[in-house]
Amino acid sequence: MRIAMIGTGYVGLVTGACFSEFGVDVVCVDKDEEKIRRLKAGEIPIFEPGLDDLVANNVKAGRLSFTTDLAEGMKGCDAVFIAVGTPSRRGDGHADLSYVYAAAAEIADNMDRYTVVVTKSTVPVGTGREVERIIRQRRPDGDFDVCSNPEFLREGAAINDFMRPDRVVIGAGSDRSREVMRQLYRPLFLIETPIVFTELETSEMIKYAANTFLATKITFINEIADLCERVGADVHDVAKGIGLDGRIGRKFLHPGPGYGGSCFPKDTLALVKTAQDYGSPLRIIETVVDVNHRRKRAMAERIVAACGGSVDGKTVALLGLTFKPNTDDMRDSPSLDIVPELIRAGATVRGYDPEGMDEAAKLLPDIKYCQSAYEAMDGADAVAIVTEWNEFRALDINRIKTLLKAPVMIDLRNVYDPQEMRAAGFAYTCIGRGT
């Protein structure tokens, strides 16, 4: 089997590398010459655990290559995957599909045999049909089918999510395209991964329904956490107590500063817009979007409150700036709301993140960046944990006490035990575990 992967962003690169690991010949295509030059030189533009080795091994084995030339990439291909960006469109929140449609046109111009055109990017319902129309218009006699094959990869755990998924969803209208997709995913059939075959529209909807459901679950537990604080309950025990019910499930019930990243904020908004356009509003998701947005801003207030009601002239150490651990991705990270609020309130912010500081510096230039968690805390009035990187889970508590002016910790990810921290003399604030 041979495939072309258009787009070497997060999804394209991980998916391409993983398919090559399955034994498929993969050519990754991107217009960005600098990116392709770096990939050819063995440099991986994103931080994702295990990806550098996976890419290097498969390049060495001759199964994975990179090019800027789509015609070259598509030569002899069984399938071509569209994995380009679908950012929120400025102004109206809809997904911007211009890159997807441009890719469709170029595919039409370069097809040289029966080709399955697969949308991997997260695209609103109806996009696959539009891709089909664009290609058909340019190539009335073209021999192709369009499939939808959404990804369910979590940043930081993407390779494992690809290799051992809960399920694979394939929207395919013809037996011929289904067979090609079945061949590509053969190793997963062998480990009995459930494969859900549907029509195009259903597959596209599954992706949005999955992400918005997960965003709703997180938002639900976040609001329950706030109520737990008021009534003196412990949200971790509540999450466990409800999550053990198989109908609810234990995962994605960890409270925090609000969901961020490149997917949930964009996808919740896009589905809300689609639903409004179709006259079938999703009021729950509209509320989730609003609640999550307010939550991120409220986190700065929490820090201010923990600092005695004002941070004017004070220094706050922030540990973790990315939207979650094991990534350098800053997109829609809660830190992007928290930092400007703190600075507006008169604080000096010292920050440290294990992988995200280069990205963070572009978006948050006013932070004083430090080389370690301890350096960030040295002389600060308080420390806030914003992202739960492993290295923040086992900090030397006594050392923190000597570094901070006063032992004030705001733990927005609940990585420490409230009782232990209070017993150690900290003014400790967390989420939903007693104030």
Tokens of 435: 């104030």
The DSSP code sequence of 169-208 is EEEESSHHHHHHHHHHTHHHHHTT--EEEE-HHHHHHHHH
Q: How far apart are CA 292 and CA 290, in angstroms?
A: 6
> Looking at 68, 252, 340, 401, which residue binds ligand UGA (CB under 6 A)?
252
CB 138 within 8 A of CB 108: yes
Min CB(122)–ligand UGA separation in Å: 6
Handedness of CA 404, 405, 407, 408 (dihedral sign): negative
Sole window of 180-188, 193-201, 258-266, 376-384 interacting with ligand UGA (rule: CB under 6 A) = 258-266
Nearer to ligand UGA, 135 or 147 (CB): 147
Nearer to ligand UGA, 323 or 369 (CB): 323
- Tell whether residue 260 is a contact of ligand UGA (CB under 6 A): yes
Nearer to ligand UGA, 197 or 252 (CB): 252
Buried b (16+ CB within 10 A) or exposed e, 94-111: bbebebbbebbebbbebb
Q: How far apart are CA 243 and CA 238, in angstroms?
A: 8
Nearer to ligand UGA, 12 or 418 (CB): 12
CB 124 within 8 A of CB 270: yes
- Applying CB under 6 A, the site for ligand UGA has a residue count of 20
Nearer to ligand UGA, 114 or 252 (CB): 252
> Looking at 115, 121, 177, 211, which residue binds ligand UGA (CB under 6 A)?
211
Min CB(40)–ligand UGA separation in Å: 26
In this structure, what DSSP letter does residue 278 have?
A: T
> Looking at 261, 354, 407, 418, which residue binds ligand UGA (CB under 6 A)?
261
Tokens of 246: 């198989």
Q: Which of 18, 228, 263, 430 is catalytic?
A: 263
- Tell whether residue 78 is a contact of ligand UGA (CB under 6 A): no
Nearer to ligand UGA, 73 or 255 (CB): 255
Tokens of 383: 């420390």
Closest alpha carbon to 362 in 338, 330, 326: 330
Helix (H) or strand (E) holding 80: strand 79-82
Min CB(134)–ligand UGA separation in Å: 24
- State which of positions 87-126 bind ligand UGA (CB under 6 A): 122
Catalytic annotation present for 77: no
CB 146 within 8 A of CB 108: no
Q: Using CB under 6 A as the criterion, what x/- string covers residues 154-193 for binding ligand UGA?
A: xx--------------------------------------
In this structure, what DSSP letter does residue 370 have?
A: -
**Is position 254 annotated in a ligand binding site?**
yes
Q: How far apart are CA 50 and CA 14, in angstroms?
A: 10
Catalytic machinery residues: 263
Residues placed in the known binding site: 30, 35, 86, 122, 152-155, 207, 252-256, 260, 266, 324, 331
Give me the residues that bind ligand UGA (CB under 6 A), please. 122, 151-155, 211, 214, 218, 252-254, 256, 259-261, 263-264, 323-324
